[in-house]
Amino acid sequence: MTSKLIVPSSDLMLAGRRTFVASGMLSAAAVALLGGQDALAAKSKAGAQGDVDILNAALGAELQAIAAYQVGAESGLLSAGVKPVALEFQGHHKAHADVLAGTVRKLGGRPVAAKPKYDFPLQQLKNQSDVLQFAAGLEKGAVSAYLAAVPRFADRALSQAAASILGDEAMHWAVLRQVLGERPVPSAFVG
């Protein structure tokens, strides 16, 4: 049995994001993340440092994802219909990284930098499916990492913002699973 793989067009994805932004959900999360400085003034210094550490760990993962999507885009293995979606997801990771780095700075921390080189399994990427499996694995890891981070923030506004990013990562993972011919949402819970 062959299944037709449906890849959302970038126009469709952009329209969906506009609706999401217009609804106020994304902007509220972004405001919460960027506005955390005032809330943290009342928190202990240790709590603020802990939040910076969590944010920097998330930033490091976002920078890795940006590099991974670049590898995929430059591999020549992605079809004309899939490559724009991969670049769209890379753009989401860039937006996450920008907000995370800005928040680390606002909290008095120093954002981590991208590594000069990541240890990606390049020799194992032989076709589009391999590239998408690799990306799906990174997205699944991001979902798990944000899920673990959300309850650890001293500043609850940062938890809300991290949960918003977690949702985006989960959507990436679901779309990649769909394109790979897998059930997009394999269970009722993420763990």
Does any domain span residue 2? no
Does any domain span residue 87? yes
Domain count, the chain: 1
CA gap 182, 67 in Å, rounded = 25
Does any domain span residue 111? yes
Calculate mean pLDDT across residues 4-19: 35
Does any domain span residue 33? no
CA gap 141, 154 in Å, rounded = 23
For residue 10, the one-letter residue type is S
177: which 2 tokens?
A: 């699973």
- The domain in which residue 163 lies consists of 44-179
> Residue 76 — φ and ψ, nearest 5°?
75, 5
> Residue 35 — φ and ψ, nearest 5°?
-90, 5
> Could you read off the pLDDT of 142-185 as tens digits, one per residue?
999 999 999 999 999 999 999 999 999 999 999 999 999 999 99
Does any domain span residue 94? yes
Predicted TM-score (pTM) of the model is 0.76
What are the start-end ranges of the H helices in 23-155? 25-34, 36-41, 45-74, 83-106, 128-149
> Could you read off the pLDDT of 45-69 as tens digits, one per residue?
667 889 999 999 999 999 999 999 9
What CATH number is given to the structural domain containing 174? 1.20.1260.10
Does any domain span residue 70? yes
